[in-house]
Amino acid sequence: MKRALAIDVGGTKIYSAIVNVNGEIISDVEKTPTPKNYEDIISTFKSIISKHENEVDVIAFSTCGAVNNENTRILGSTGNIAGQYPATNFLELSKKPVFLENDANCAAWAEYKIGASKDCRHSIMLTLGTGVGGGIIVDGKLLKGKNGAAGEMHFKLRTDKHRKCTCGAWDCFEIYCSGTGLKLTAAEMSQNPKITTYDVIGGVELKDELMMKIFNRWQDDILAGIIGLANIFDPDVVVLSGSMAQFVDTHYLTKMVNEEIVTTPTRVVKAEAGNYSGMIGAALLAFDKYGV
């Protein structure tokens, strides 16, 4: 059976593992902190690849940053990783075929192939973590846009320049609906700049009135975004993944979304492909692309 060496590159950690064509991880998952320095990132890649390249048919990267439509390079800014990282020549890293795709797109693909949106040809995935990632699948294909950068969850939730987003614009979905967004909403509503997301989640468990109000505001911001996305894409399902997704009430969201949309009924569900869905999705996309 064909195998891919999958490498997941994030701002803080680099994971790697071998994945088969069924989307199963068949090796230990290796984990290393993402080096701050660009040269060290490249040497980390080289050492992972040289260790495993003879055991696999393809190298599949799931990476932060938008990836071009040829799946060969990163298009632009990637946030919290070394500034030169987008210049990486991935194809030169191995004598085997090298593939790369944006991490949220990879995760959305893993959900479509083996997870919560399996067999659903129209789906949207939102990764609710420190930021918000997005992957959109239309008629069984990843929506990539003209250059490959589509699916970024930076659309406005309000227009009064209330909160600056990490992308530099004002009031994006991301800056309200990420973990960072929950913290900012909590700080505003509690007048306590030091409040954390843990305080809110812990308070909700204890049925603290203010913490529940803060949490519900955050969840209703997520709801607002999902309603817009559902009206635009008419998805079978909206999948929520990432560290913050576990706290969300998907039954509530499903009910409220379906009360407001003008398109056909949809579902909001939690991701099922696991913590390594980025690596699994990258591997499955790479097998498709290279026909291996």
Interface positions with Zn ion (CB under 5 A): 154, 165, 167, 169, 172
Q: Quote the least distance from Cβ 134 to Zn ion, whole Å.
A: 11
Q: Quote the least distance from Cβ 178 to Zn ion, whole Å.
A: 10
Q: Quote the least distance from Cβ 255 to Zn ion, whole Å.
A: 28
Residue 284 is which amino acid?
L
Q: Which is nearer to Zn ion, 137 or 165 (CB)?
A: 165
What burial class does residue 178 get, using C-beta atoms within 10 Å of its C-beta: 0-12 exposed, 13-18 middle, 19+ buried?
buried
Q: Which is nearer to Zn ion, 77 or 190 (CB)?
A: 77
Q: Quote the least distance from Cβ 181 to Zn ion, whole Å.
A: 11
Q: Which is nearer to Zn ion, 79 or 202 (CB)?
A: 79
Q: Using CA atoms, how far apart are residues 19 and 25, in angstroms rounded to an integer?
A: 4
Q: Tell me how far CA of residue 163 lies from CA of 160, 173, 184, in angstroms.
A: 9, 10, 9
Q: At what angle do helices 197-205 and 179-190 cross, to 10 degrees?
A: 80
In terms of residues, how long is the chain? 292
Q: Which is nearer to Zn ion, 157 or 172 (CB)?
A: 172
SS (H, E, C) 257-279: HHHHCCCCCCEEEECCCCCCHHH
Q: Quote the least distance from Cβ 273 to Zn ion, whole Å.
A: 26
Q: Which is nearer to Zn ion, 23 or 134 (CB)?
A: 134
- Is the Cβ–Cβ distance between 30 and 47 less than 8 Å? no
